[in-house]
Structure 1
């Protein structure tokens, strides 16, 4: 809990510093904002035992007003089973990833499924929009909105690629080891619930 408080303080400092660097004009204030940003990165590195340069690369590489990143995850079902893809580290996840700047949420969901699972899908409806910090660990140095999308397979087949080595359908009682920073068992069960209920109402934090 104490570690989470430190991380939240670091994130807030980074956000304030980035806003100051964007909208402030005084050269001396700019130097102060740069130092506040550096301090926030130092806090994040110290509290999470991550090399400072890596934190700076993830934490201090944007300009403009800081907003959350978008991550889409596709929930694809067949015969009451959900599709998961196996990553290079041996763990499993729903197909998905960061939303590209030139794509909509729907377009990005379809693209990620094709890249990671080799399937053509229809992105049908939104299951949930979640604040990642409330559901997944470890805590990231930036905000993430995770969008879970119910999809239906219409064609294609899996081919091994740089991101995934296998694709398979699983029933709800036999979920393999998950890549929990991307999706956990609670989120997988949520997708099953949405699949079973045609009048599902989108959940959002």
Structure 2
């Protein structure tokens, strides 16, 4: 669970963004921009980057504030799970990333798997919808994020790295390597193995 100050900062930023979206008053716009600057200072003070960097990220956002969506592909082969090694931090993770506009969750996760692992895959079942802020990921992000874990099946392709990944491999549950904790947590991996062992389990959601 993220600390309350981080939640407050992001809630203030959302209030400011929504206000800036709908107000027609120059006076109110000035006040909402001030609220957004204060929110950026709060998040930065807690270790979320510089106030200028955080504010610049928020200023790019337009329209009503909503959570961003991260998709993760869950693929098993011979009782092992597919992981890719991230180029950014060297940690391993389930293949995935941001969902793109105009793509369904199925299309997004199938694209991410191909781009990051080289495998063609077919999405088959939603396993979990997690709230990143409630799961304990680090570092704290300036946006609210939902993470979709989707069971997929390999239909073609072959292991291949990309500009985003350094390695592609399958791992047994008792041999999971050091993970990229911003993207995937150990308990999430173990939960995916529980879904693998018992396909009748209903999806998780926060």
Alignment TM-score, normalising by the size of structure 2? 0.95
Instruction: Report which stretch shifted further, 176-185 or 193-202.
Output: 193-202
Aligned: 1:100 with 2:106: no
Structure 1: runs of 5 or more not aligned = none
Q: Matched residue of 2:156: which SS?
A: strand
The 5-angstrom pairing of residues 69-88 of structure 1 reads: 69-88=68-87
Alignment correspondent of 2:121: 121
> How far, CA to CA, are the matches of 2:73 and 2:83 in structure 1?
9
Partner of 1:182: 183
In 2, the alpha carbon distance for the partners of 1:29 and 1:56 equals 18
Deviation at 1:78, TM superposition (A): 0.3
Q: Cα deviation per residue 1:176-201 (whole Å; 9 max; x = unaligned)?
A: 00001101101001111111112121
Task: Determine if the alignment matches structure 1 residue 7 to structure 2 residue 2.
Answer: no
1:49 CA drift (Å): 5.6
Q: Hey, what's the Cα distance between the residues in 2 that align with 1:147 and 1:15?
A: 22
Partner of residue 139, structure 1: 140
Task: Give the unaligned 5+ runs of structure 2.
Answer: none
Q: Following the alignment from structure 1 to structure 2, what is the Cα–Cα distance between the partners of residues 37 and 201?
A: 39
- Moved segments of 4+, more than 6 Å: none
1:47-62, aligned counterparts within 5 Å? 47-48=46-47, 50-62=49-61
SS at match of 1:173: helix
Q: Secondary structure at the match of 2:189?
A: helix
Question: Which of 156-165 and 71-80 deviates more?
Answer: 156-165
Aligned-residue Cα RMSD (Å) equals 1.4
Give, in whole Å, the separation in 2 of the partners of 1:167 and 1:127: 22
Q: Report if the CA contact (8 A) 2:91-2:179 is conserved.
A: yes
Match of 1:48, SS state, is coil
- After TM superposition, the score normalised by the length of structure 1 is 0.95
Q: Which residue matches 1:130?
A: 130
1:152-171 matched pairs, under 5 angstroms? 152-171=153-172
Q: For residues 202 and 53 of structure 1, what CA distance do their matches in structure 2 show? A: 39
